[in-house]
Structure 1
């Protein structure tokens, strides 16, 4: 049976036009809160509002947007390596990709920092991450000439990756988020920054309208031909590979940002907790494969998700995800 939401309400601690927020249990005692049509994990609700109210992108900014668990960590490594490839240092050896490219709502605009950490880099280009949907942040991103890179992933693999990710939480054993519940919630859109389909489509549509502004790529495309899309990214970002050794430059970036290499760096194997995130560094590296969902989702679950994919994606002209 589909997951039926038993909504609760609560009042914001701070005055807000929407003083009553829909609240839905996720797992254990964790809740999702509905904000402008999307479900936000409760600790990130206020930071998300602050981003909407206060963030002003610079023309030189590069914004990596994504739905959770769709290849964000990989793209952060690739973007950093492409843009700052002239640096003789090798920051990916000693820094987790999420430290090099911080997220607006899950780090920079958390209550204690209030966006003051935006001056986090000595580089002329700031690379910032976000999971905020285009429907919420689009006008803000369009207020400057900043570039947007969006990555998505097969919905079934995205869900499987999210389900595994949540299992790293200490609370998971107390009240597990079962795969059955995860599938039903995903199909109903009640997952962090969901609905997934409503998150993906506007970024894709905007990338067709304004390819100079938004670069849209899938996890599967990157896996199939990483060199091709790294070159495309560099062109899009205004820093194309040049010189006699340009092919070697591309190959080195693709190799150094591969799952096999990144997952073996000590920082990425660490069980230490990031300053602003409740899961360890090593939780971001698990498998990195296409089609891994087949190992965890039953045939009826796959059919359930595929039916919605046809309805949402295929009917919109985006033949993807099945």
Structure 2
């Protein structure tokens, strides 16, 4: 019996019983993760996702920022908000929302914010369109109303080596004090076995990857390393995908470059809201900004670890056409 489940007042009794029937593994920053619909997540996430699946009604103007955890989520949310709202909030304005709010406040998480308050069904009818939402939920577990609509999903993932290191560092920064520090070796074994939040990572990536090939007008698949190499190109690609391409006048006026600067890692990290603000009651915003570099995994992983994860990637993603640059 997982006593921590019974102690969670925010879970309905029916939900507690359902969760306790699921396979479980040690959690990274909670006592356990549970295997729900083929992916690993925390109890509160399961309840939120269940409510989301049962009640969310998509609109064709909706935009979802979907991501593998720790793969550029905050950056992609900022870029998406700036692109879509550039007529309402001029990029050069000193009052731009991204200067006063964390991107997660402007593009709220479905599983933490929108549906994260007990099992209540939120009223989303008064949200200005296009509605912007963020999620880590795998594609297969999105509500049918999203899959059957023409709403837009922009997805980003990162090479699994850097994603692992970023996830491990993040988990240890925000874990509750009563839980022990998660050592690198244990975390690595869990990651390679797929037991990480919203993992296995390979299933998460493949779900959106395959859908982007089936419906390229509805799902835009991005890779962090490509974005870092040529953010200007990908910013224009995103704007076209959202059906709001940059005009020649905007390009001549430097709008694209100004969005890049406004949403840059360096700019966001130095903002007051991201130094002292908090994301819900879970953790401080400053923990969202570590390095944002490509290849930091070389400072942490042994040759045997590199070999093992390389084999996992080849086994799970080989033949899919999805490949990553490691450095």
Q: One fold, TM greater than 0.5?
A: yes
Which residue number corresponds to residue 199 of structure 1?
Answer: 204
Query: What's the CA shift for 1:315?
Result: 2.8
Which residue number corresponds to residue 66 of structure 1?
Answer: 67
Which whole-Å CA distance do the structure 2 matches of 1:115 and 1:91 have between them? 27
Conserved? CA contact 1:28–1:175, under 8 Å? no
Which whole-Å CA distance do the structure 1 matches of 2:300 and 2:225 have between them? 19
- Residue 57 of structure 1 aligns to a residue in which SS? coil
Which residue number corresponds to residue 82 of structure 1?
Answer: 83
1:313–1:172 CA distance, 2 compared to 1 (3 A) = farther
Conserved? CA contact 2:48–2:111, under 8 Å? yes
TM-score, scaled to structure 1: 0.90
Q: Structure 2 stretches of 5 or more lacking a match?
A: 7-11
Query: What's the CA shift for 1:172?
Result: 5.6
1:243 is aligned, of 243, 248, 257, to: 248
Over the aligned positions, Cα root-mean-square deviation in angstroms equals 2.4
Which whole-Å CA distance do the structure 2 matches of 1:117 and 1:267 have between them? 27
Which residue number corresponds to residue 297 of structure 1?
Answer: 301
Query: What's the CA shift for 1:168?
Result: 1.4
Which whole-Å CA distance do the structure 1 matches of 2:223 and 2:28 have between them? 29
Conserved? CA contact 1:65–1:148, under 8 Å? yes
Which residue number corresponds to residue 109 of structure 1?
Answer: 115
2:227 is aligned, of 207, 219, 222, to: 222
Which whole-Å CA distance do the structure 1 matches of 2:169 and 2:232 have between them? 29
1:120–1:209 CA distance, 2 compared to 1 (3 A) = same
Query: What's the CA shift for 1:113?
Result: 7.1
Which residue number corresponds to residue 13 of structure 1?
Answer: 13
Conserved? CA contact 2:225–2:325, under 8 Å? no
- Residue 64 of structure 2 aligns to a residue in which SS? strand
Which whole-Å CA distance do the structure 1 matches of 2:162 and 2:42 have between them? 20
Which whole-Å CA distance do the structure 1 matches of 2:245 and 2:174 have between them? 41
Deviation per residue, 1:238-274 (Å, 9 max, x gap): 000003242511111111111111111111111x432
Which whole-Å CA distance do the structure 2 matches of 1:112 and 1:173 have between them? 24
**1:186 paired to 2:187:** no
Which residue number corresponds to residue 4 of structure 1?
Answer: none
**1:286 paired to 2:290:** yes
- 1:42-53 matches, cutoff 5 A: 42-53=43-54
Which residue number corresponds to residue 127 of structure 1?
Answer: 132
Q: Structure 1 stretches of 5 or more lacking a match?
A: 1-6
Which residue number corresponds to residue 272 of structure 2?
Answer: 266
TM-score, scaled to structure 2: 0.89
User: How many residues are treated as equivalent by the alignment?
Assistant: 313
Query: What's the CA shift for 1:73?
Result: 0.5
1:83–1:94 CA distance, 2 compared to 1 (3 A) = same
1:252 is aligned, of 237, 254, 258, to: 258
1:68–1:27 CA distance, 2 compared to 1 (3 A) = closer
Which whole-Å CA distance do the structure 1 matches of 2:85 and 2:119 have between them? 26
Which whole-Å CA distance do the structure 1 matches of 2:139 and 2:30 have between them? 28
Which whole-Å CA distance do the structure 2 matches of 1:80 and 1:170 have between them? 29
